Structure 1
Amino acid sequence: MRLSTLSILGAAIMSAGPVIAQESVSLVAAGSLSTALSQVAADFSAAGGTNVDTTYGPSGIMRQEIEDGATAHVFASANMAHPRTLAEAGRGGPVVLFARNQLCGLAQSGLDVSSETLLEVMLSEDTRLGTSTPGADPSGDYAWELFARADMVREGAQAALEHKALQLTGGPDSEPAPEGRNTYGWVMESNRADLFLTYCTNAVLAQREVADLQIIQVPEALSVGADYGLMVLNDAPASAWRLALHILSPAGQGVLAEYGFDAPGLPKE
């Protein structure tokens, strides 16, 4: 399947024509990819001389902006659904799985919580539980999937968690973090939640900014995996296909792995 996908991308590159020096490519991507893909884009530019203009944000909002006419050549989403929606509308394709992630709990230093007690602490009336915004940000959608799993562990948990969850990030009206700050580190440092469900990669970056935050692994019974989808939009320049292929290459996949993503394009050791 992967060879077939790479063959499609390779054929598209060959048919798109020769490289145009300094041709600019627009990369629109999920906010959780900002650190990793910024490095991938910089490596790509350094190797080939093609400028990459990057825009990051919640994948659902990014998809809507593309639908409304925003310039985008390559779209990297934190789920498969948003790029597939664009592909089904005839806006581009194919949609390729290029990275995976997981949800973790990000907890304040004083919160007594572990992987084993995570569900109990989330359900506690004393715990302010933060999530991203479902519909707009796949991180919120994955949190709601976790809540559904919780109902299989404890009856009524799903409704209770959905009711109490504070949708603090990823929505069209969410307050943005100050420039240069990790969104989740800033939210927790601002004491807006006691426990926040976010991607494990985001949790690691937040802890680098706010060292006393705890990262809590989600137990297997509640664990939700996040599949990330990549696509090239119609009428994109040849260099957009080259960028997509670079993201899927061992070099690009290696960078994603360095930032904590599961990179399916890397060979198994």
Structure 2
Amino acid sequence: MPKHILPAIAVLGLVMTGPATAKEPISLVAAGSLKAALGQVAHAFQNDTGIAVETTFGPSGLMRQSIEDGAPAHVFASANMAHPQALAEAGKGGPVVLFARNRLCGLAQPGLEVSGDTLLDVMLAQTTRLGTSTPGADPSGDYAWQLFDKADELRLGARAELESKALQLTGGPESEAAPAGRNPYAWVMENNRADLFLTYCTNAVLAQRELPELQIVTVPQALSVGADYGLIVLEDAPPSAWDLAFHILSPDGQRVLASYGFDAPGRVGE
């Protein structure tokens, strides 16, 4: 197990108040990109312990805001470290633990001629409708803007051009929601709202499973942006919430995350 995971687990152990005896349902609030992976992890935990896990998934920034506004939450899993850290600094729980990593990929329409080598040119082309999530509300949008910063280092003026043309199609409070049961990125692309969409590679894989004709474009190293995912147990959570957090950090939980394309830093023996 990597060294940076061991201290985190040790700290969690120190702040636990005792064994999980209460049968109160656990409220797990998490980033939308974690829906498939943590949905499976929560289901396994529920089967193993008999403790119900009530899940809510959505853009991390909006989820943090709902927690600050008093929405019930025991465990918060964010697509960045900043949102859970803000809650910790406000005295609403802690510590914050890195539990997964992700990165950005391009999701392209089947007829678009694009590769990793030509990605920046295609994004900048006047005819390309470039989709992103919403910065501030959804970390995926923030990471897209970080990619634009890197683009500016390669081509002066690229950042301003990309920011001005980016269509913020998902993750915001006013974003049109996909129908129930649909992958939001597959739905956006199926409805021809963008030619190329920057999203997490894990989201792109799920979208392609739904619409196999979509292309997944690897972002070249010079533009690549990584995403660190943070986990926090919130104040007044029942002891069983700590057990759920440990389950997410455990080898079994980390293997599930890895199976959905996340870099799971706590995975061992593989």
| C-alpha distance in structure 2 between counterparts of 1:129 and 1:193, whole Å | 6
| C-alpha distance in structure 2 between counterparts of 1:206 and 1:143, whole Å | 18
Instruction: Indicate the RMSD between aligned Cα atoms, in angstroms.
Output: 1.0
Gaps of 5+ in 1: none
Q: Is the CA contact (8 Å cut-off) linking 2:24 and 2:52 kept in structure 1?
A: yes
Residue matched to 1:216: 217
One-letter amino acid matched to 2:68: E
| C-alpha distance in structure 1 between counterparts of 2:124 and 2:220, whole Å | 15
Count of aligned pairs between the two proteins:
267
| C-alpha distance in structure 2 between counterparts of 1:17 and 1:120, whole Å | 56
Gaps of 5+ in 2: none
Work out which of the residue numbers 11, 21, 25 in structure 2 matches 1:19: 21
| C-alpha distance in structure 2 between counterparts of 1:37 and 1:12, whole Å | 23
Cα offsets for 1:175-206 (capped at 9, x unmatched): 00000000000000000000000000000000
Q: Measured at CA, do residues 153 and 239 of structure 1 come closer, stay the same or move farther in structure 2, by a change above 3 Å? A: same
Q: State the secondary structure of the residue aligned to 2:105.
A: strand
Tell me the percent identity: 70
Work out which of the residue numbers 9, 14, 37 in structure 1 matches 2:12: 9
Q: Is the CA contact (8 Å cut-off) linking 2:151 and 2:159 kept in structure 1?
A: yes
Cα offsets for 1:66-94 (capped at 9, x unmatched): 00000000000000000000001111000
Aligned ranges for residues 111-126 of structure 1 at < 5 Å? 111-126=112-127
Shift of 1:6: 1.1
Aligned ranges for residues 84-99 of structure 1 at < 5 Å? 84-99=85-100
Residue matched to 1:41: 42
Aligned ranges for residues 42-57 of structure 1 at < 5 Å? 42-57=43-58
Q: State the secondary structure of the residue aligned to 1:95.
A: strand
One-letter amino acid matched to 1:11: L
What stretches of structure 1 move > 6 A for 4+ residues in a row? none
Shift of 1:2: 2.4
Shift of 1:4: 2.1
| C-alpha distance in structure 2 between counterparts of 1:221 and 1:136, whole Å | 26
Q: Is the CA contact (8 Å cut-off) linking 2:5 and 2:265 kept in structure 1?
A: no
Shift of 1:245: 0.5
Give the TM-score normalised by structure 1: 0.97
Q: State the secondary structure of the residue aligned to 1:93.
A: strand
Give the TM-score normalised by structure 2: 0.97
Cα offsets for 1:2-57 (capped at 9, x unmatched): 222212222333x245412x320000000000000000000000001110000000
Q: Is the CA contact (8 Å cut-off) linking 2:19 and 2:240 kept in structure 1?
A: no
